[in-house]
A and B are shown apart, each in its own frame.
Chain A
Amino acid sequence: MDKIITSDTFTAEDIKFLAEYELITIEPFFRADTFSLSGIEYGPFTPPIKTNVPIWVALTLKSQKLCKIISPSWLTVENLTILLDSETKETRFSAVPFYYAEISRMLLQSAEDDLKSPGELRMLLQQLKEKRENKIRIGLANLEPIPHKINNISAREIHIMRPTFVMVFDSLRRIQETTLKKSSGQNLSETTRRTVDIMSSQNIDDLMDIEGEIADYGEFMTYD
């Protein structure tokens, strides 16, 4: 956080930063009264009593061996198996927390000893991630018109989708606007029709290079 911000682009690191504000339950190993961070009160901290703090606080305390992190209820082998199952059966996205990818990755990295069967969790999360990315790819090929409901999408997935989807819908919109005007003569509408044909063809993935982008981001997000 010390580095000087030179660009105004929203990065995957920023998603992680925001995810760190989600609350998590800890079991503190130290005594302290309630105190406020950014105007919100946390505590009191009395050893066997569990309390809720933001994830970044939990991880800082954890790094100094001052607390035990209680794994969130959705991050268990049973629950992830259920999620994975519904992800396979249904066309809709299953209900995962908005920052599920970031939170699970942070916990697996820094608090592995507090999670039950982390190896299995990694495998399930990886499968879940792939299933959901596949759905995004199918969604892009179908090119459903906007406004378009996308419930239960996670922050990371939006981050992957954004450049491609925004570009696709903006070009489609421009084509529509031009076709609606119809004032530009035969030549132009011929061109636009051909463009629409290309865009809705099977080769949409090659055209948009979404694979490449997912691969770039995937590298950052693998559950190693």
Chain B
Amino acid sequence: MSRIFSCQNQKEPKTINLNAAYTKEFFDSDEDLDVVDEFNIDESNINKENNVDESNINKENEIFLSGQLKILQRAWLNENFSTEILPYEPAFERLNEILENQNIKAESLTLSQETSPIGMLLFIDNERIKYVMNRYKRTRLAKIEKYVCSINENAEYMARLSLPEKEFAERYKRLIEEHEHASFLHVLPQESLDVLKETENGTETSFATVEHPDLNQAVFCRFIKHVGSYSFPSTPHDKEILSKDDAYLVKYSDIRKLLEDHSIELI
């Protein structure tokens, strides 16, 4: 089941339309190969023609897209080292866009000038982006599976999931419940199950056996912004000056707020 969701965003690149400029360049490439200085190919021409076709929107888009990989890498690490599920990172979708653009560019470059290392670098970069995306998705899926009941009960956690993840969490919970009911719960008397129910202010919340993320776990974090004078909630009397690049070993609950407003990253 997890495979369905993890793969859906890693779709194959769209079929590549070699436009007129590329096709022309492709046929010219034989001549280029005969040039003595094989790396001294005038690449600016191709780029110009290419940019005219894809309009200036692409250029602006690229500026906006810069740094998205860094954001997703950070999100991956944060997700990996925190115990609770964190808000879904929209950079994921934007990277998909980068992937498609780069695939088209890389294919055309390798077709037109086999000697340039740029096409190869673009291919490798694509693989690396896919790796980060893959790890991010898998980390989240593993967490959803682990705390499936806790996440389903908590509206705040549910709001942090993307649509497919939400659907997965619900279906996975249903599957587990059906399985457990069919294998052993149906033979237990109802009273024995009631004993396990936790109550809060008189209303039933959940079963005592549901695994919740341990928010007090120790985590390593590093400040990516200057925060200034701050006291961690668990030690309210100690004031600390927190500046950029400071590293701490802290309780997760102490830095939960800081993680939310992106003042720190988990390492």
Which residues from chain A sit less than 8 Å from chain B, CB to CB? 1-2, 5, 8, 10, 14, 17-18, 21, 29-33, 35-41, 56-57, 60-61, 64, 66, 98, 146-153, 155, 158, 161-162, 165-166, 169-170, 173
Contact = CB atoms under 8 A, between A and B. Distances in A.
Contact of B248 (A33, A36, A147, A170): A147
Q: Chain B interface mostly helix, strand, loop or mixed? A: helix
Contacts of B127: 1-2
A151 B246 contact: yes
Interface stretch (B114-122, B157-165, B202-210): B114-122
Nearest to A150: B247
A17 B80 contact: no
Given A31-B41, A40-B67, A150-B248, 7 more contacts: A8-B135, A66-B117, A146-B248, A149-B240, A155-B267, A169-B249, A170-B214
Given A60-B120, A147-B250, A38 B43 contact: no
Given A38-B98, A57-B121, A170-B218, A5 B249 contact: no
Nearest to A42: B121
Interface string B70-83: 10010001001100
Contacts of B245: 151
Interface of B: 39-41, 43-44, 47, 62-63, 65-70, 73, 77, 80-81, 95, 98, 102, 116-118, 120-122, 124-125, 127-129, 131, 134-135, 138-139, 141-143, 214, 216-220, 232, 234-235, 240, 245-251, 254, 267
A18 B73 contact: yes
Nearest to B97: A39
A8 B98 contact: no
Given A30-B39, A31-B40, A146 B251 contact: yes
Contact of A149 (B63, B102, B216, B248): B248
8 contacts: A8-B141, A33-B43, A39-B62, A40-B69, A146-B218, A147-B240, A147-B250, A165-B218
B68 A39 contact: yes
A38 B69 contact: yes
Given A5-B135, A149-B246, A39 B47 contact: no
B48 to A, nearest CB: 10
A191 B24 CA distance: 82
Contacts of B141: 8
B131 A17 contact: yes
Given A8-B138, A150-B249, A166 B131 contact: no
Most buried by A among B67, B95, B117, B246: B117
Contacts of B77: 10, 18
Contacts of A17: 128, 131
A33 B214 CA distance: 51
Contacts of A56: 124, 128
Contacts of B120: 60
Nearest to A40: B66
B26 to A, nearest CB: 19
* B39, B62, B120, B142, most chain A CB atoms within 10 A: B39
A196 to B, nearest CB: 17
A39 B66 contact: yes
Nearest to B251: A146
A5 B138 contact: yes
A88 B122 CA distance: 44
